[in-house]
Amino acid sequence: MTTAASTPHRIAVAGATGRMGHMLIEAVRAADDCQLAGALDRADSPTLGQDAGAFAGWASGVVVTADLAAGLASAQCLIDFTRPEATLAHLAACRTAKVGMVIGTTGFSDAQKAQIAAAAQDIPIVLAPNMSVGVNVTMKLLELAAKALASGYDIEIIEAHHRHKVDAPSGTALQMGEVIAQAQGTRLADRAVYERYGHTGERKEGSIGFATVRGGDIVGEHTVLFAGTGERIEIAHKSTSRAGYAQGSLRAVRFLASKNSGLYDMFDVLNLR
């Protein structure tokens, strides 16, 4: 994965014809130090064989393919914002081809995360439920707030996304909960409340509540509420486009260029440890 500073980062994009795929391809095109090297999509995609830049009227010279080996042949790194099952198939192909990965896919089980960690022994991987630089700075703010507000404050995490999102709560919301719980020396699994209905009784002290909104074309909104006596603190992040995810992904690609293996997240990329 080590490249000279003047050599473009050769990037393949998974789910190349989806909304996020298009945003990533546009970001790669606009970056002086990046080059589109592969475009992957499902075997039943009607765009197979077409130029990956056709949607933008751009002749990229890269065709959309379902052949993983062919799509990764010229790439140094794959950016993947698809589904867990697809990402794991891409993971196996990248491990074989020695291609790094930037994974923004959410909804992984613990067993699937273990597969990613195992592959990271052979290839460099950035795994993060949200690649946005702003979101990850927000995570750092939550860590600081959680330590200072460890007692006397009830914590609620409210997230909103578009109607097409298939997992809930969002991976970003879950990560926020994990960051807060870890900062307070606890486990999210012991504190999380994912739904409330009917006669629930009083709020359990120390719980971290989640609320989910799905509708329209909301890109992504997350608000963490620390509610105390006589005051409340809200830390929020709102995305108005997927451009922030794409730019963060390119920063992750650049970070991996000097790595040969290892599992990293955006805190590593942004030096927020």
Residue 1 resides in a domain: no
| pLDDT value at 197 more than 60 | yes
137 and 187: one domain? yes
Q: Do 115 and 99 belong to one domain?
A: yes
Whether 3 has a pLDDT exceeding 60, the answer reads no
Share of the chain above pLDDT 90, in %: 93
pLDDT at 183 over 90: yes
Rounded to a whole number of angstroms, the distance between the first and last alpha carbons of the chain is 23
Q: Would 167 be classed as within a structural domain?
A: yes
Looking at the fold, whether 117 and 53 belong to one and the same domain comes out as: yes
Dihedral, CA of residue 43, residue 44, residue 49 and residue 55, to nearest 10? -120
Reported as a single tens digit per residue, the pLDDT across 134-182 is: 999 999 999 999 999 999 999 999 999 999 999 999 989 999 999 999 9
Q: 57 is in which domain, residue-wise?
A: 9-131+242-269
Residue 251: CATH number of its domain? 3.40.50.720
Taking residues 27-52, what's their average pLDDT? 97
4 occurs within a structural domain: no
The candidate with the shortest Cα–Cα distance to 206, out of 190, 222, 230, 224, is 190
| Pair 124, 143 in one domain | no
Structural domains of the chain, count: 2
Domain assignment present for 141: yes
Per-residue pLDDT tens digits for 97-132:
999 999 999 889 999 999 999 999 999 999 998 899
85 lies in the same domain as 143: no
Question: Are residues 196 and 109 part of one domain?
Answer: no
User: Where in the sequence numbering do the catalytic residues fall?
Assistant: 161, 165
Q: Specify whether 162 is located in the same domain as 199.
A: yes
Q: Quick one: pLDDT at residue 2? A: 44
Residue 122's Cβ-side half-sphere holds a number of Cα atoms within 13 Å equal to 13
